[in-house]
Amino acid sequence: MAKVRGSTLNDYANRNIQMALINIKLRISVFTITMLAMAASFQPPSNAVDIKDVRKKLSSQKIQQDKIDLPSMIQTCKQDSNCNDSRFLFLQLLKNPKDLNLNFLYAKDAERRGKLDTALATYQRMVFLDPTNDRWKYNIERLRDLSKPAKTNFAAVLGFRVDSNGALNADRDADRNGNLAEHNGSLVLTLDDKRILDGFKYQTTGQFYADINHNDPASDLILAALQFGPILNMSNDWKMRPALLFDRLVTDREERSSFSYSMGALVSFTNSGDDPLRSTNVSLYYVDFFDETPGKDAWVLTSSAEVELKVFNLEDKFRLSPRAVFNGARGGSGTDGFRDLYYEFGLSLDYSREVAENFEIGPNFSYYYRNYIDYEPGGTTNRNDHNFNLGLQATVIDLIPNIITLIVYSFERNKSSLVEESYRNHTVGIGFVKSF
């Protein structure tokens, strides 16, 4: 494969990532479906404690207290070196079953010993004794979440798209002699695994993404990405997930030439309640290009959020997603003479409506402004871009049994201060999503 260099390499990466938005939306759909499926899980019946059972248990403890000499047993346990702290705490609770502090200590001790059912029952008893305290309800939800068995979900997305003006030898405002069209096929495989390790729930997500360009094998993209981190309860509705991330990107399906890798960390917050703010994310990672260092290798800081609003009908979904990026490229210039140091602000809008059973359709719009700083080191060339993308997406469930079908159209317009970086493109795509 001819070595991908200079502005061609940089242009290819930026353009192909933009025109892979359709496939990325498919992956987002897969993860949305996965997250909804996980959120639909309920507490196993074995963990449930009925209020009647709580009353019976309290009455039973009172009867036992009348029949046995608890003060003597507590004193004996206190003097006996073989009587552990858990036993001593249990005897104290038998003597004073309505003492909230003893109940709390007993629940924490049971959780420490891995007795989640006992801890859960104790917190439910505390709700009966102290119904206005949300602290006990929070701990119930947290333990219910920890009690869920490990679960692993897989999904696959097969997609096809046609671009009227692909990234290779593109037809730009300054040069109308570019390619007429490009044809791409893509495959996305996703992994979502949640399990308990040492008292904490951890989530591992993995993605494999392959984009095949029919016009030129050297322009293929193959991406492997992995994230791993704990899921921490912040309240009844909000969860925080700090995670480590790593991804590897190669080009050319024949030679698999190295393109870049990145590694870093992210923190995401997700809301399972009714608040419009659904999630926020912050990530910091380092990207290293194998054939470039000055002007290209960079620390990248991103921040995004998602707000979901109910409009028109309650079943309709309107999502608003702001985003900010700072790409801190190294000093100096790349082989193309430029430096990819820039900041970016963007906004995405998505609206969907169910017009028939198992059929949704809606428009989407995205915009970002990107301003390059010191674009030509030592030179006078300045650059800023306004990028617009307007589209329409239709979602059909079970048109093919157990398959979600996505049909998309989008029009992209990039208006740059440099006429040679200005272009327009129409994209039509179709994707098929299968969860396992």
The pLDDT of residue 216 is 80
Q: Is 357 exposed, middle or buried (0-12, 13-18, 19+ CB in 10 A)?
A: exposed
| Cα dist from 234 to 88, 108, 149, whole Å | 32, 18, 21
Q: Can you tell me the distance from the alpha carbon of 211 to that of 21, in angstroms, rounded to the nearest whole number?
A: 12
Identify the helix (H) or strand (E) that includes residue 141.
Answer: helix 134-147
- 112-157 pLDDT, tens digit per residue, is 887 888 888 888 888 888 888 888 888 888 888 777 788 899 999 9
* Residue indicated by tokens 């070196």: 81
Which pLDDT belongs to residue 179? 55
**pLDDT of the residue at 173:** 56
Residue 248 has φ and ψ, to the nearest 5°, of -135, 130
Residue 230 exposed, middle or buried by CB count within 10 Å (0-12, 13-18, 19+): middle
Residues of the chain with pLDDT under 50: 1-49, 51, 54, 58, 63-65
Residue type at position 74: I
Residue 157 CA to residue 406 CA, distance in Å, equals 10
What is the distance between the alpha carbons of residues 370 and 346, in angstroms, rounded to a whole number? 9
pLDDT at 140: 84
Residues contacting 3, CB < 8 A, separation 6+: 257, 291
Question: How far is 317 from 203, CA to CA, in rounded Å?
Answer: 27
| Cβ pair 54, 124 in contact under 8 A | yes
Q: Domains, the chain, ranges and CATH?
A: 6-41+149-435 (2.40.160.40), 45-147 (1.25.40.10)
